[in-house]
Structure 1
Amino acid sequence: MSMAEHEKISLNVGGTVFVTTMSTIEIGGKNSLLAKLIQKQQNNDSDVTSKEIFIDRDPAYFSVLLQLLRTGELEIPKVMSEKALCREATFFGVLDCVRENQRGGLDGNRLRWKQSIHGDESTSDGTFIRASSEGGCCVARGSVVHVYDWTMEEQRPLNLDYLSVNDVGYLNPERIIICTYELTDQIGGMASFNTNTAKSINKYRLPYGDQTSNFTALALACSDRHVYASCRGRGLDQGIAVWDSTTGQHADFLRDSSGWPFGDASKLQWLPGSNLLLIASLSPHSDDTYLCLLDPRSRDKIWAWTDSTRQFKHTIHLLTDAVAMEESSTICVVNQAEQVGFIDMRVSCREPNWGMKYSRKLLKSGGEGCCYSKLAVNGSQLYCSHGDGVHVYCCSCSNGERARIVESCRVTTKKSKGKGTGPIADMAIGGDRLFVLRPSQNRFDIWETPYLPNEDKSKGKGDE
């Protein structure tokens, strides 16, 4: 018997027989359902070439997935639902193969509008959007968090009754953490939920003596091991609370002895490369701007900057957002005057280099309400919202020199197939997708980088 004959596998999917090989099945991963079924069959009978393995699924969708494993190319018939295909891919355990073929890595220079998701007219305007690592997202609308999976199918919403949402963080695609507070009492809390079932998993508590204390968490950041939140509450010092990301148990409380208001931080960002936490107090939550990089292990501030002394002539406009770019050792900021600045994080107490200044004439929000610019980072690219569009910058740094920032393109709603314009309230990047929230139209837009056939990707080589 030849090697090809020895590897031959017969699969009966919904009454249609498919003949393939083990090498093709293994392209989908050794942990895929197909691989596990064949392995189970082999454990029961060493000769699987003479027996069919029956799988009760739709053969039309399986045919497309099998062709993807064979050729490395995904061709979806026009009559076939992409969402249904993704559900079948999830069942067979080859969803990662579908994702890799549909999109390349996120490249701001050649973004393509994918689709727009509109909210229910009865819901409140979206206040912010957060993205998961696999390309799903969630949108906070009043006291409700709407959750979408990778296929953009809406899951069961998380209704928090009379609580307002401060921030949301993803621990993984199936688990999110929500910070809330009561409008009347300004006291809230934190809890994690399953994104598929909307069921509560853990409640995050802060010890206060022999009891636990009520607190309000303003901003979240998640690492592989810990959850960080800027907290304040009755009887508590302001600071950064730390919990175990798996168990939800309280682990630490970080304060600053020099008086920096960690508890007022409106944005936290975990930097996995350096194991540092960016802490930012920004407008409109704070009258002064405080930025610092904190080492949670040693409790030391590695880098710090503030405009509270008002000694910098360009900081009369308060900062509205900040983000760290680890690859170029740069803190990127934007202020109320729509100016984008860059600070070298290797040197403390330096004035931002206001390299980009927008004209107010470009702001198209008009009477619909002004939305301050937001920042997002993907590798060496910086995304900055302005008016109804997003500016993309490329950042490079070599030989210890100061980072060089170059604007490479601008993405506008003109590229979204005439879906209309509107001010941008927030942005998020996750799973090689850019999400843009437009509250005036109660919708968010999804942008992707199309996969090019000549890109260097591993192709399927089975059945050759």
Structure 2
Amino acid sequence: MKGKRGRVRLNVGGRVFETTAATLAGAGRDTMLGAMIDASWNHGDGEGGVDEYFIDRDPECFAVLLDLLRTGGLHVPPHVADGVLCREALYYGLLDRVRAARWGPFDGDRLRLAASVAGSAAGDGTAVRAAPDGGCCVAHGGAVRVYNWVMEERRAVHLDHAPVNDAAYLDEATLLVAARERPGTGRRDGGVAAFSALTGDLRHRFRVAHDRHVRSYTPGALAFDNRCKVFASCKGRFNEYGIGVWDCTTGEQADFFYEPPGCALGDADKLQWLDGTSTLMAATMFPRTDSSFISLLDFRDKKNVAWSWSDVGTPASLEDKHVLHAIAMEDGRSLCVINQYDDLGFLDVRSSGGAGGVRWRSRSKLAARKKKASPRGEETCYPKLAAHGGQLFASTNDTISVFSGPDHVLTSTLRGSDAGAICDFSIGGDRLFALHNEENVVDVWETSPPPII
């Protein structure tokens, strides 16, 4: 497409736009608009050396997208719905460009509250998981509600009232769900299954076999590695206690790490794959069990516990400092834990069996607001941890604290909607999602885009 003055005329849904070939080329050759200037396309029949093409799409959204290509800024009129703009951007191949203009690279110190989304029922939210594409899913009782990146609800995953223990995105289109058997039914409807994140349809059930027989089991936490393996903590009725492993390409069971004496792998409520050491962190934490157990599992030929730590037998002065959550730091050299007093602790995984003990750091002064209690007088939400981009995040009551630098100095505090304590949060797709259990509200935090110079 080579008009005399390099101009292109586009008739979009009856509205005529005129721009330059260079502007369209800026969209990229892998986009529909960028491909229009490729020499393999036939030229239009416009007048005065200006090529003209007709596109049967929404002209209002095209005006927004053309301005984005011209200026680098995204300016959406109030009458243009986010969902419609998303649909049109996907058609033109500009969805990633729109997302990049909406928010910048993730930075915990520059996060701003972008939205608060209310669920359909209060008090039953258990987990929130960020999707790679900027959306998320929220586990509510026997269902997992799925949202796209503009926080429009897709078709939910329904498990016929089987309570959900955990969920994880295998990729943008595949959601893994771990569910317990429905109490009192006698049905073997628990386990791990893969669902379409787009339609909610069941794709595959991951079975556990023992002594050549398929067994029923209750899964706890989920994780996956960079070699297409899915992990789940499994608590069975017979001898299936430990960590199940499946090949997510074939869906077949690939391995099983049976629970060694002194551990509680089948009850693990936190799994995390560590790329640097090719080990799996399995953490079983108070109050699920009387004491906390954290192990690094090596799944190579001779499966073994490469490292372990427990708060059994802690000194009397620390006997009440049970670990409530744990996260492996991104450098792979240490674990961060948090207790019921909101103290942060660090364990060096390079020392044998956690010989150096926990280096505790008090956070009690940071919990400025009173803990919200349930009608029974019990604390409704326990603290959670996450690590991302070299920063450490810790939820306490209705607040998420951000720690930065090698010394993990407190640099920011995130407090969103007044919806009560945060029961879970997740980071992914350049966003942070925080779930408030009491009101069943999800806060969406984004990083402000960099200024246009």
Tell me if both proteins adopt one fold, taking TM over 0.5 as the criterion: yes
- Give the distance between the partners of 2:337 and 2:323, measured in 1 at CA: 7
The question of 1:54 aligning with 2:45 is answered no
Residue 359 (structure 2) aligns with: 353
Name the amino acid aligned to 2:358.
P
The question of 1:378 aligning with 2:380 is answered no
Moved more, 337-346 or 44-53: 44-53
Cα distance change on mapping 1:29 and 1:175 into 2, 3 Å: farther
Contact map agreement 2:141 2:161 (CA 8 A) in 1: no
Residue 400 (structure 1) aligns with: none
Cα shift at 1:106:
2.1
- Pick the aligned partner of 1:296 from 289, 292, 299: 299
Higher relative contact order (CA 8 A, sep 6+): 1
Cα shift at 1:270:
2.0
- Give the distance between the partners of 2:123 and 2:232, measured in 1 at CA: 25
| Percentage of identical aligned residues | 39
CA deviations on 1:171-197 (whole Å, 9 max, x unpaired) are 112210111112235962111111111
The count of aligned residue pairs is 439
**Partner secondary structure for residue 98 of structure 1:** helix
- Pick the aligned partner of 1:282 from 278, 281, 285: 285
CA deviations on 1:322-370 (whole Å, 9 max, x unpaired) are 0111237321111122211112222231321111231576433145552
Residue 347 (structure 2) aligns with: 343
Counting only pairs closer than 5 Å after superposition, residues 279-428 of structure 1 correspond to structure 2 as 279-298=282-301, 299-311=303-315, 313-327=317-331, 329-348=333-352, 349=354, 350-359=356-365, 362-367=369-374, 369-370=378-379, 371-396=381-406, 404-413=407-416, 419-428=417-426
Cα shift at 1:120:
1.8
Name the amino acid aligned to 1:234.
R
- Give the distance between the partners of 2:252 and 2:33, measured in 1 at CA: 38
**Partner secondary structure for residue 125 of structure 2:** coil
- Pick the aligned partner of 1:270 from 270, 273, 290: 273
Where structure 1 has 5 or more consecutive residues not aligned to the other structure, the ranges are 397-403, 414-418, 456-464
CA deviations on 1:78-129 (whole Å, 9 max, x unpaired) are 33223321221122111100111111122222221111111124x6521111
Counting only pairs closer than 5 Å after superposition, residues 37-436 of structure 1 correspond to structure 2 as 42-43=39-40, 45=42, 52-121=52-121, 125-182=124-181, 183-184=183-184, 188-224=190-226, 225-255=228-258, 257=260, 259-298=262-301, 299-311=303-315, 313-327=317-331, 329-348=333-352, 349=354, 350-359=356-365, 362-367=369-374, 369-370=378-379, 371-396=381-406, 404-413=407-416, 419-436=417-434
Contact map agreement 2:276 2:332 (CA 8 A) in 1: no
- Give the distance between the partners of 1:288 and 1:265, measured in 2 at CA: 12
Cα shift at 1:17:
3.1
Cα distance change on mapping 1:312 and 1:343 into 2, 3 Å: farther
Contact map agreement 2:392 2:408 (CA 8 A) in 1: no
Cα distance change on mapping 1:77 and 1:347 into 2, 3 Å: same
CA deviations on 1:51-104 (whole Å, 9 max, x unpaired) are 543321111111111221222221212332233212211221111001111111
Cα shift at 1:312:
7.4
Cα distance change on mapping 1:5 and 1:205 into 2, 3 Å: farther
> Which structure has the highest helix share of the two?
1
Cα shift at 1:223:
2.5
CA deviations on 1:260-307 (whole Å, 9 max, x unpaired) are 332221111123344332111112222221112223335343432212
**Partner secondary structure for residue 221 of structure 1:** strand
- Give the distance between the partners of 1:26 and 1:200, measured in 2 at CA: 41
- Give the distance between the partners of 1:29 and 1:93, measured in 2 at CA: 9
**Partner secondary structure for residue 364 of structure 1:** coil
**Partner secondary structure for residue 326 of structure 1:** coil
- Give the distance between the partners of 1:201 and 1:442, measured in 2 at CA: 28
Contact map agreement 2:391 2:408 (CA 8 A) in 1: no
CA deviations on 1:381-416 (whole Å, 9 max, x unpaired) are 1111112211111141xxxxxxx2211122223xxx
CA deviations on 1:14-66 (whole Å, 9 max, x unpaired) are 12233445543343343323345665xx5464789875433211111111112
Contact map agreement 1:140 1:165 (CA 8 A) in 2: yes
**Partner secondary structure for residue 286 of structure 2:** coil
Q: What is the TM-score normalised by the length of structure 2?
A: 0.88
Q: What is the TM-score normalised by the length of structure 1?
A: 0.86
Contact map agreement 2:419 2:438 (CA 8 A) in 1: no
**Partner secondary structure for residue 135 of structure 1:** coil
Name the amino acid aligned to 2:281.
L
- Give the distance between the partners of 1:4 and 1:351, measured in 2 at CA: 72
Moved more, 317-326 or 346-355: 346-355
- Give the distance between the partners of 2:268 and 2:175, measured in 1 at CA: 20
